[in-house]
Amino acid sequence: MAATESASAGTNDHLITSSDPEHPANHICTLCRSFYNLGWVGGTGGGTSIKRGPHIFIAPSGVQKELMQPHNIFVLEHANRSYLRKPLELKPSACTPLFLAAFDRGAGCCIHTHSQWAVLVTLLVEQEAHAKGEDPMGKCFEIEKIEQIKGIPKGRGKSGMLGFFDKLVVPIIENTAHEEDLTQSLEEAMEKYPDTYAVLVRRHGVYVWGDNVQKAKTQAESMDYLFRLAVEMKRLGLPWVA
Amino acid sequence: MAATESASAGTNDHLITSSDPEHPANHICTLCRSFYNLGWVGGTGGGTSIKRGPHIFIAPSGVQKELMQPHNIFVLEHANRSYLRKPLELKPSACTPLFLAAFDRGAGCCIHTHSQWAVLVTLLVEQEAHAKGEDPMGKCFEIEKIEQIKGIPKGRGKSGMLGFFDKLVVPIIENTAHEEDLTQSLEEAMEKYPDTYAVLVRRHGVYVWGDNVQKAKTQAESMDYLFRLAVEMKRLGLPWVA
Amino acid sequence: MAATESASAGTNDHLITSSDPEHPANHICTLCRSFYNLGWVGGTGGGTSIKRGPHIFIAPSGVQKELMQPHNIFVLEHANRSYLRKPLELKPSACTPLFLAAFDRGAGCCIHTHSQWAVLVTLLVEQEAHAKGEDPMGKCFEIEKIEQIKGIPKGRGKSGMLGFFDKLVVPIIENTAHEEDLTQSLEEAMEKYPDTYAVLVRRHGVYVWGDNVQKAKTQAESMDYLFRLAVEMKRLGLPWVA
Amino acid sequence: MAATESASAGTNDHLITSSDPEHPANHICTLCRSFYNLGWVGGTGGGTSIKRGPHIFIAPSGVQKELMQPHNIFVLEHANRSYLRKPLELKPSACTPLFLAAFDRGAGCCIHTHSQWAVLVTLLVEQEAHAKGEDPMGKCFEIEKIEQIKGIPKGRGKSGMLGFFDKLVVPIIENTAHEEDLTQSLEEAMEKYPDTYAVLVRRHGVYVWGDNVQKAKTQAESMDYLFRLAVEMKRLGLPWVA
């Protein structure tokens, strides 16, 4: 519970110390534990970040998600991207620039998963494009007329959730050798699809965000439900779009 | 633990305060947590309601089911459908009129899930109708000669459970843009199939009810088992009805 | 902790009262909770029974398995099949005569599950027989050359476990309208396959037993693993027997 | 907490007594419980071992993995393979010589699972070889361009993890009647594939190791993710290698 104002490594513990379970440093840990149990962040893949006021809290790279502790958490100043807290023995999350792309656009929480269902839908979209002799680049995951679509909001600046008769469109970007190199195509997808709350990454997973933790988490759940349902539908010869 | 008789928002806390784990306000929370772990109510989908005496207790819309608390619970007077307790910051469940349809017919507990197995069986029934050049409207999910069918009662006013050689018939209604608009077709299905304890909603999920919590819950489990088994059987080319 | 010698309903609580977690009345409850989480005993299906000395302890019918309590447990005198403890408000397990068939043959614990994998393998054996124009009656589930087969003992009176190159043979009996009516065919299967520790029931589930709780439980786990693997292998066109 | 220097059976309890959750005797128990919940070590299959300093700690054969206790643990002197602690009533793990093969090559932790996904990929590699009229012997499991591959290190003596564009190659050895007899082919595979951190055993499971517990565990998770994804991809007609 030391309170220091120094920005050197491992200090500024006050930034991550709280008895409030919804303090970002605590909340990231409970979320990571849930996501691990869902199979989204095994093998240290994936990540979670939360913005509160001027600060962004991010789970580090390489730490077992189900064992995450508040003292593992990195803290950034959003405005100037500088680290206020940087545990020396850990590596910052490679997702950091991607999370920042979401926070720059008003998100309050951003979640990255390696869900197999996300990976599989990107492969199925690619497979279908090839089967039609088309280029998969730029093709989105699309699904309509499933009630769970109503778990996704209409879009930034729009009021309410998608309707049962709306089509959910989630852009897919191609994976790169290094996570940070996804930033440009992630931002382009966010610009091209301004109403989206998620971007799929081919053969990699998905980034999902929301105005706050509760929205990002529930939207991530609805997205993953739809990805899994889409895989089951494909296996049974059921089309995603009529 | 305040005890007030006022029906204004957020008061009447005495209606939802009890140390008895089987008090509806507590029981709804433990059930929602289980249902979340079963994958039935992710992304805030689905819902649970319990009747006790003259009162109906309903989980609200939009709250994460695994984090439900007694103080989130809405309480209705069954006889006149008026709210005795209405947490102002929350929205009443959109399932409310559908739950009332079950309570009007003598149910003690009604459960709504977005189980993927429920969604998939409605799609498989539709697919099979189309393959035969038939109209899927009004076609039911039917399965026979599976032991778990004995987990479903014979029907209202009838004694005992379905037998191994009985056929389970679950009506399917078409989904609508708004949950409340399902009420009419749900009630029609309940009238047309007076022995049913469940109605499937195409591309949406299922409503299951029972005389009390234990029956509704165990019947929901048996239903979901049969939906999942039906999907596995379809994948393996095993017919649901001989 | 009352200690009475009366055999009237609800007394003889001393038979089910102990602080030892491995006392059958406690052990049945913890096992039922695990089995519920494995999807083996949902909707009150399935059951568990343990023999200790002259007494047989059985979980009742119709109670939610994950909520089982010691005071729910029935106790029988094995020698004369008379009830020493019979909670009046509950029904004895319909599996009782089937459990007794296993205990009569030296088992220490018998487990009955409605595992979907068990149900599906019985349907796949039937499907394969029909495809070959053969009668499925009397055909067994057979699988070989899977390491997990070594989790099953060679047979009663034989020393050691099955080997990797041995074939596991599990007899299948046809289901009946009432669970008790399975007893004759279960006993016939036990006589015809004296080395078996399990009997599958078509479209119903499986009975697995062992010399003691640890063996019955681990054998049930290995059996269910093999049933599930067999379904996955079938889907991928991989033969169970070379 | 007795402290004796005797190497006779059941003594040397000090070797397995610690309040540190990361002491090998405690850590093996928590790992085994997790692995049981993942479906990797049911029916007493599989095993876990950790090296600390001169000592190797191994979970015994035949004990239910989710109930493992520190006093069940065997302790070996790595240098001369002699037992320092040997619970008399338990059998040493049959995996012991295989674990030693990994420790001899610098591993800090070795994990053996019977994961169905591992078993299925070995069967799919075999099936594909047969379909091409080739001998499956010596063929490896290969997969590329899946982000989770980056959870596996490049190899011993090499720095960093595999890249997204690298191909993961996991050798497969044939199973034998007795676990100990796998040792020679496991060591040959380790020599032939010096960069591998895992060896699959046909129809049996997988051995995965790492420099320490955290690496072995997270690498086992990434491996199992890739095995499971490979099975799903195969079902959907998606190739593992372009």
Quote the percentage of chain D above a pLDDT of 70: 96
Task: Give me the mean pLDDT over the B64-89 stretch.
Answer: 96
pLDDT tens per residue across span B128-166: 999 999 999 999 999 999 999 999 999 988 999 999 999
Flag whether pLDDT at D1 surpasses 50: no
Task: Give me the mean pLDDT over the C160-171 stretch.
Answer: 97
Among the partner residues B147, B151, B214, nearest to C205 by beta-carbon distance: B147
Question: What pLDDT band is residue C97 in, cutting at 50, 70 and 90?
Answer: very high
Task: Give me the mean pLDDT over the D37-58 stretch.
Answer: 97
Among the partner residues D42, D44, D120, nearest to C236 by beta-carbon distance: D120
Asked if residue A109 belongs to a known ligand binding site, the reply is no
Give per-10-residue mean pLDDT for chain A (242 aa). Answer: 38 94 98 97 96 97 95 97 95 96 97 98 98 97 98 94 97 95 96 98 98 98 98 98 91
Contact flag C235-B236 (C-beta cutoff 8 Å): yes
Number of CB pairs, chain A paired with chain B, less than 8 A apart:
68
SS3 at position B151: helix
Cα of B158 to nearest chain A Cα, Å? 34
Q: What is the pLDDT of residue B11?
A: 79
Rounded CA separation C104/C84 (Å): 18
Question: What pLDDT band is residue C11 in, cutting at 50, 70 and 90?
Answer: confident
For the record, the structure tokens of A158 come out as 């729009």
Please report residues of B whose CB lies closer than 8 A to that of C235: 235-236
A215 in contact with B, Cβ within 8 Å? no
In the set B5, B89, B147, B191, the catalytic residue is B147
Contact flag C148-D45 (C-beta cutoff 8 Å): yes
Q: What is the pLDDT of residue D215?
A: 97
Cα of D55 to nearest chain C Cα, Å? 29
Flag whether pLDDT at D7 surpasses 60: no
Contact flag C147-D114 (C-beta cutoff 8 Å): yes
Q: Which residue has the higher pLDDT, D3 or C107?
A: C107
Q: What is the pLDDT of residue B9?
A: 46
Asked if residue A95 belongs to a known ligand binding site, the reply is yes
Among the partner residues A127, A176, A201, nearest to D238 by beta-carbon distance: A127
Asked if residue D178 belongs to a known ligand binding site, the reply is no
Q: What is the pLDDT of residue B160?
A: 95
- Containing A186, the helix (H) or strand (E) segment is helix A183-192
Flag whether pLDDT at C9 surpasses 90: no
Flag whether pLDDT at D100 surpasses 90: yes
SS3 at position D35: helix
Q: What is the pLDDT of residue A7?
A: 43
Closest CA to B193 of B212, B176, B172: B172
A147 in contact with B, Cβ within 8 Å? yes
In the set C22, C147, C174, C187, the catalytic residue is C147
B121 in contact with A, Cβ within 8 Å? no
Q: What is the pLDDT of residue D242?
A: 84
Q: What is the pLDDT of residue A137?
A: 95
Rounded CA separation A225/B204 (Å): 12
Flag whether pLDDT at D11 surpasses 90: no
Closest CA to D103 of D111, D93, D113: D111
Quote the percentage of chain D above a pLDDT of 90: 93
- Containing A172, the helix (H) or strand (E) segment is strand A172-173
Among the partner residues D44, D114, D204, nearest to C218 by beta-carbon distance: D44
Average per-residue pLDDT for chain B: 94
The bridge status of strand D198-201 relative to strand D172-173 is parallel
Q: What is the pLDDT of residue C2?
A: 32
**pTM to 2 decimals?**
0.95
DSSP structure string for B190-239: HHHSTT-SEEEETTTEEEEEESSHHHHHHHHHHHHHHHHHHHHHHHTT--
Contact flag A45-D148 (C-beta cutoff 8 Å): yes
Please report residues of A whose CB lies closer than 8 A to that of D151: 43-45
Residues with Cβ < 8 Å from B26, sequence gap 6 or more? Answer: B18, B20, B70
Please report residues of C whose CB lies closer than 8 A to that of D235: 235-236
Contact flag A119-D146 (C-beta cutoff 8 Å): yes
Q: Which residue of C has its CA nearest to B237?
A: C127
Chains that touch C (3 or more CB pairs under 8 A): B, D
A37 in contact with D, Cβ within 8 Å? no
Contact flag D165-A176 (C-beta cutoff 8 Å): no
Beta strands in chain B (DSSP E): 47-52, 55-58, 74-77, 82-85, 109-113, 141-144, 167-170, 172-173, 198-201, 205-210
Task: Give me the mean pLDDT over the D113-141 stretch.
Answer: 98
Question: What pLDDT band is residue C242 in, cutting at 50, 70 and 90?
Answer: confident
B205 in contact with A, Cβ within 8 Å? yes
Among the partner residues B44, B123, B177, nearest to A238 by beta-carbon distance: B123
Contact flag B45-A214 (C-beta cutoff 8 Å): no
Question: What pLDDT band is residue C42 in, cutting at 50, 70 and 90?
Answer: very high
Task: Give me the mean pLDDT over the D189-208 stretch.
Answer: 98
Flag whether pLDDT at D4 surpasses 50: no
Task: Give me the mean pLDDT over the C97-114 stretch.
Answer: 98
Rounded CA separation C112/B189 (Å): 36
Cα of D186 to nearest chain C Cα, Å? 16
Q: What is the pLDDT of residue D8?
A: 45
Please report residues of C whose CB lies closer than 8 A to that of D116: 225, 228-229, 232
Chains that touch A (3 or more CB pairs under 8 A): B, D
Please report residues of B whose CB lies closer than 8 A to that of A217: 64
For the record, the structure tokens of D203 come out as 């129809």
Q: What is the pLDDT of residue A9?
A: 46
Among the partner residues C64, C123, C204, nearest to B218 by beta-carbon distance: C64
Rounded CA separation B134/C90 (Å): 47
ipTM of this predicted structure: 0.94
Question: What pLDDT band is residue B71 in, cutting at 50, 70 and 90?
Answer: very high
